[in-house]
Amino acid sequence: MQTITVIGGGLAGSEAAWQIAQSGLAVRLYEMRPVRPTAAHHTDGFAELVCSNSLRSASLTTAVGLLKQEMRHLGSLIMRAADASRVPAGQALAVDREVFSRTVGQALSGHPLIEIRRQEVDRLPSGVTVVATGPLTSSALSARLQALLGRDYLYFYDAISPIIQADSINQAVVFRASRYDRGGDDYLNCPLNRDEYERLVDDIVAARKVETKEFERAVYFEGCLPIEEMARRGRDTLAFGPLKPVGLSDPRTGSRPYAVVQLRQDDRAGSLWGMVGFQTKMSYPEQRRVFRTIPGLEAAEFVRLGSLHRNTFIDSPRLLKPTLQFRDRADLFFAGQMVGVEGYLESAAAGLLAGLNAARYARQAPLLVAPATTALGSLFTYVTSSERREFQPMNTNYGLFPPLSRRLRGREKKAALAQRALYDLAAWQTAHHLPDAAPGSVPHASLVGTA
């Protein structure tokens, strides 16, 4: 029986390997950790979440919430692990990162068709292969890929927010609430008056930063800007961004603070809390100094400080087919963040599609392109569209979807887009004999109407 190679044990590689094995084909899954560590990972676990522990909104009024549901229908291992390791986060799906990684690892190691090899891959093997090495591809394999692709890689930076021990947070100062009470009181809020906010902005801008290496150029993805980059754009940028106080009232004063720093629960036990939106390139000593000036965090103990690392992605519109195949080698597939998607779920979705198609290619079956009306299809239509001249990484969003046949606005429009997507996904699964792993949640045709 033919064995398919998957390189990389992150979210995309784990999902790809699972989809291939579930189709009945053998998989050889390579992960170089712990033999060769990376600058961002802290463990050797599969699908380690190196940034936030949030998989973002769970609501179908958002495209990423819809993507989650589509992946459940398609039997996603990543969604199965996320649902099993969920922690409170309002309308978001956040997970205990250790439980999440362990769940993924146990599923992979326990599958009879998956062979795990802990070693670095320094060249592309022959045969059907999925490359899902992520943003920190090793230099040896990166050089091989550069030679194969025939054009330069593109680089941008991804930033990580600090995590704080719960018992070091001053509970007499912070208060529990979600903006506009959406999701209850899942967030901790550190209130700042105007003077405190102004001093924080000044400290962030003036703090010593880790220097960018000469061979790397600082091109930031707008969805994950370092806190200091936002602060440099204007004194009020943070107050209208991650520190916006709208929909919040400090119970001690009964009024809205000038700004708030929000903390989100990072583990199931509630012993760890992440600083929302505080990804940074500040040096470690400066982070401790500056962030301890925030009300409620004066004695903060950091279990992880923020950092910034290089992410690598390829020029997918010119290199990949909509099936995530390399245009010049039909048995080579790419997946994950390196195809130009941004976000945990988007990376895993790329692994899901690449895994399905790698298995179908090995069986000489027609390859899959999801309907453009779905979150899965709209995202990879965007990523692989050869008409795009300037390519930058993209999150899934309803702006990528084809328009509805009737004019709607706001939540009604988003609900109609989600209904249409799930109905079209179900029809697509039936047409391609893809089993539905989450039956009973697809809208009836009468509900979709003329959407």
Neighbours of 209 (CB within 10 A): 16
Residue 215 — pLDDT band, cuts 50, 70, 90? very low
Structure tokens at 383: 């990523």
pLDDT on residue 339: 94
Give the 3-state secondary structure of 15-34. HHHHHHHHCCCEEEEECCCC
Amino acid (1-letter code) at residue 57: S
Q: Of residues 371 and 149, which shows the higher confidence score?
A: 371
The pLDDT of 182-203, averaged and rounded, is: 92
User: Please, are residues 317 and 383 in contact by the beta-carbon 8 Å criterion?
Assistant: yes
The pLDDT of residue 446 is above 80:
no
pLDDT on residue 2: 86
The pLDDT of 1-16, averaged and rounded, is: 94
The pLDDT of residue 105 is above 80:
yes
The pLDDT of residue 442 is above 60:
yes
Structure tokens at 75: 């039997």
C-alpha–C-alpha distance, residues 291 and 288, integer Å: 6
Residue 135 — pLDDT band, cuts 50, 70, 90? confident
Structure tokens at 361: 């290619």
- Are both 170 and 240 inside the same structural domain? yes
- Are both 306 and 324 inside the same structural domain? no
Residues pairing with 277 in the sheet: none
Q: Of 103-107, 380-384, 404-408, where does the model show the most confidence?
A: 103-107
C-alpha–C-alpha distance, residues 423 and 367, integer Å: 21
358 contacts: CB under 8 Å, gap ≥ 6:
4, 6, 16, 20, 128, 129, 130, 333
pLDDT on residue 268: 81
The pLDDT of residue 334 is above 70:
yes
- Are both 115 and 224 inside the same structural domain? no
Residue 85: what are its φ and ψ, rounded to 5°?
-120, 20
The pLDDT of residue 218 is above 70:
no
Three-class DSSP category at 263 = strand
Q: Give the CA distances from residue 107 to residues 60, 103, 258, in Å, rounded to whole numbers and listed in that order.
A: 28, 6, 47
**Selection from 391, 295, 385 nearest residue 342 by Cα:** 391
pLDDT on residue 180: 77
pLDDT on residue 450: 43
Domain boundary, last residue among 310, 329, 357: 310
Q: How many domains does the chain have?
A: 2
Three-class DSSP category at 81 = helix
The pLDDT of residue 199 is above 50:
yes
- Are both 39 and 93 inside the same structural domain? yes
207 contacts: CB under 8 Å, gap ≥ 6:
228, 282, 283, 286, 287, 289, 290
C-alpha–C-alpha distance, residues 348 and 419, integer Å: 22
The pLDDT of 95-101, averaged and rounded, is: 95
The pLDDT of residue 355 is above 60:
yes
Helix (H) or strand (E) holding 192: strand 187-192
The pLDDT of residue 41 is above 60:
yes
Lowest mean pLDDT among 168-177, 264-273, 317-326, 332-341: 264-273
The pLDDT of residue 227 is above 90:
yes
> C-alpha angle 392/148/8, rounded to 5°?
70
Three-class DSSP category at 86 = strand
Structure-token match 């995530």, residue found: 324
The pLDDT of residue 159 is above 90:
no
Residues pairing with 129 in the sheet: 5, 332
The pLDDT of 166-181, averaged and rounded, is: 91
pLDDT on residue 154: 67
- Are both 284 and 167 inside the same structural domain? yes
C-alpha–C-alpha distance, residues 326 and 109, integer Å: 28
Helix (H) or strand (E) holding 410: helix 410-431
pLDDT on residue 448: 56
Structure-token match 């999701």, residue found: 183
Structure tokens at 17: 């390997």
pLDDT on residue 222: 67
Residues pairing with 131 in the sheet: 7, 334
Q: Are strands 163-165 and 154-160 parallel, antiparallel or unpaired?
A: unpaired
Residues 233-279 have pLDDT tens digits of 999 999 999 999 999 999 999 999 999 999 999 878 888 899 999 99
The pLDDT of 154-172, averaged and rounded, is: 84
- Are both 443 and 324 inside the same structural domain? yes
Residue 7 is part of which domain span? 3-153+314-448
H helices within 363-409, ranges in order?
A: 375-384
Percent of the chain with pLDDT over 70: 91
Q: Of residues 57 and 150, which shows the higher confidence score?
A: 57
Domain boundary, last residue among 265, 284, 310: 310
What is the CA 128 to chain-centroid distance, rounded? Answer: 26
The pLDDT of residue 219 is above 80:
no
- Are both 214 and 86 inside the same structural domain? no
Which CATH number do you get for residue 397? 3.50.50.60
- Are both 91 and 196 inside the same structural domain? no
User: Please, are residues 256 and 250 in contact by the beta-carbon 8 Å criterion?
Assistant: yes
Lowest mean pLDDT among 121-135, 302-316, 357-371: 302-316
Lowest mean pLDDT among 5-14, 48-57, 181-190, 279-288: 181-190
Residue 84 — pLDDT band, cuts 50, 70, 90? very high
**Selection from 356, 359, 398, 354 nearest residue 379 by Cα:** 398
- Are both 306 and 421 inside the same structural domain? no
110 contacts: CB under 8 Å, gap ≥ 6:
none
C-alpha–C-alpha distance, residues 345 and 325, integer Å: 20
The pLDDT of 139-168, averaged and rounded, is: 82
C-alpha–C-alpha distance, residues 4 and 360, integer Å: 11
Which CATH number do you get for residue 305? 2.40.30
State the greatest distance between any 2 C-alpha atoms of the chain, in Å, as a whole number. Answer: 69
**Selection from 23, 20, 16, 15 nearest residue 434 by Cα:** 23
Residue 40 — pLDDT band, cuts 50, 70, 90? low
Length of the chain: 451
- Are both 291 and 355 inside the same structural domain? no
399 contacts: CB under 8 Å, gap ≥ 6:
none
Amino acid (1-letter code) at residue 359: A
Percent of the chain with pLDDT over 90: 67
- Are both 210 and 290 inside the same structural domain? yes
Q: Of residues 39 and 332, which shows the higher confidence score?
A: 332
The pLDDT of residue 391 is above 80:
no
Which segments within 52-91 are labelled E, that is strand?
54-57, 86-87
Structure tokens at 322: 């909509």
Domain boundary, last residue among 282, 310, 338: 310
- Are both 139 and 174 inside the same structural domain? no
Average pLDDT of the chain to the nearest whole number: 90
Structure tokens at 222: 């707008």
